[in-house]
Amino acid sequence: MKAPLDWVRAIAVARDAGVNVKAVWFGEGELIQEMKSLIAELNLQEQIELYGLERDRQKLLQRIRESHLMLFTHITPESPRCLIEALTSGTPIVGYHSRYVQELTEHQGGGVFVPVHDWQALGNQIIALDRDRGQ
């Protein structure tokens, strides 16, 4: 549902292009072991921290507020609260396109989206944003 392996691959694309990326994945799930293996395979241990489940909502919101962006790779039609929390925290959302995220950002902006499953384009979007900080 959240395509964590796509998330890891997008970060690898950005890192390989020279972006100084530091990413944190909150939560766990059935693909966590595959994520760990892919992170090791792509040598992303310095870029990605798998934090696990954070039950303290204030700590989680603080991490979102401190972030340059919220990278997401949701592949199913859903309305994840974390994207609203990011936008209300002043953190742009960058990830896979859906009607939901389009509606969240259509009036006031705050998001950049690529086609679902296109982790290469997502990585390239991170690169583009890194090179154009005004955007």
pLDDT digits (tens, 9 = 90+) for 13-63: 999 999 999 999 999 899 999 999 999 999 999 999 999 889 999 999 999
Domain ranges of the chain: 4-131
User: For every residue of 45-104, which 3-state class applies, written as one string?
Assistant: CCCEEEEECCCCHHHHHHHHHHCCCEEECCCCCCCCHHHHHHHHCCCCEEEECCHHHHHH
pLDDT at 11: 98
Query: What is the percent of the chain where pLDDT is above 70?
Result: 100
User: For every residue of 91-128, which 3-state class applies, written as one string?
Assistant: CCEEEECCHHHHHHHCCCCCEEEECCCCHHHHHHHHHH
pLDDT at 89: 95
CB 54 within 8 A of CB 25: no
Which uninterrupted H or E stretch holds 8?
A: helix 4-16
Statement: residue 117 has pLDDT above 90: yes
- Give the right CATH number for 4-131 from 3.40.50.720, 3.30.565.10, 3.40.50.2000, 3.40.1400.10: 3.40.50.2000
Residues 117-131, mean pLDDT to the nearest whole number: 98
CB 71 within 8 A of CB 94: yes
**51-106 pLDDT, tens digit each:** 988 999 999 999 999 999 999 999 988 888 999 999 999 999 999 999 999 999 99
Q: Distance between CA atoms of 48 and 20, rounded to whole angstroms?
A: 11
128: left (phi over 0), alpha (psi -120 to 50) or beta: alpha
pLDDT at 86: 97
